[in-house]
Structure 1
């Protein structure tokens, strides 16, 4: 029967038990990034999830939501952000922050959609008071 024991990273190795079973030791780290678990090997290489195993990250959802809400405002479907917030059942400031995401530079949006944005950049960093000049925004 297979068992998984999680320990601190060590050296790789194989141990053979007296009954013929083998124990394989693989040093990896599992980190959370954008709500996903990523496996990091000892050399620092990160194993990317397979395309069919991925789910939409909260940051990707926020960008999509911001663009959808911006379209609703521009088309006249809703007149104000307050009306939009009431219709969506969220706070006015949340609507404002999500719409701020429509002002991100293309390279930042691409990094969000590709899930390659550095782990230290958060939704709060991007949505609250984003820089007006693209050159000063995270890339």
Structure 2
């Protein structure tokens, strides 16, 4: 039976016991990137890019939804956020929070799209009651 233990320090090693079993020790680091986990080896290498690594993150999708719903309001396609929520079959408070994302500072939006937001920033932090001033938004993220 295999036993997996994660250790953050140490050197790669292979140990052989008297009964013939092998123990392989590979120090790795697991980092959260916008809800995804990324395994980093001690030399800084990461796994090659896979199709699921380039899929949009949940924050990127939320930003896109917010802009789409705001465009629906501005064009007259929908008369209210409640109407959009009814069409989409979701809660109107969710629609409101996603539309709030359209007021974010341009550098924050760029960080979302480039997937370089700090790991501690969540969608909730960005969407719920964002400050109107961009400097205050930036200060909240630090």
Scaled by the length of structure 1, the TM-score of the pair is 0.81
* CA RMSD across the alignment: 2.7
* Conserved 8 A contact 2:13-2:26: no
**Shift of the alpha carbon at 1:5?**
3.3
* Conserved 8 A contact 1:30-1:37: yes
**Shift of the alpha carbon at 1:42?**
4.7
For 1:91 and 1:53, locate their aligned partners in 2 and report how far apart those are by CA, in whole Å.
28
Q: Greater relative contact order (Cα 8 A, min sep 6): structure 1 or 2?
A: 2
Unaligned runs of 5+ in 1: none
**Shift of the alpha carbon at 1:11?**
1.2
User: Residue by residue, what CA displacement relative to the aligned partner does 1:32-83 show, whole Å, maximum 9, x if unpaired?
Assistant: 332211124457x583762634221111110000000001111111111111
For 1:104 and 1:21, locate their aligned partners in 2 and report how far apart those are by CA, in whole Å.
56
Aligned position for 2:39: 39
For the pair 1:76 / 2:72, whether they are aligned, the reply is no
Task: Tell me how many residue pairs correspond in the alignment.
Answer: 136
Question: Residues 6 and 126 from structure 1, CA distance in 2 versus in 1: closer, same or farther, beyond 3 angstroms?
Answer: same
Question: Residues 78 and 131 from structure 1, CA distance in 2 versus in 1: closer, same or farther, beyond 3 angstroms?
Answer: same
Unaligned runs of 5+ in 2: none
For 2:25 and 2:76, locate their aligned partners in 1 and report how far apart those are by CA, in whole Å.
60
Aligned position for 1:14: 13
For 2:47 and 2:104, locate their aligned partners in 1 and report how far apart those are by CA, in whole Å.
25
Aligned position for 1:90: 90
**Shift of the alpha carbon at 1:117?**
0.2
For 1:48 and 1:116, locate their aligned partners in 2 and report how far apart those are by CA, in whole Å.
18
Aligned position for 1:59: 59
For 1:40 and 1:93, locate their aligned partners in 2 and report how far apart those are by CA, in whole Å.
38
Aligned position for 2:107: 107
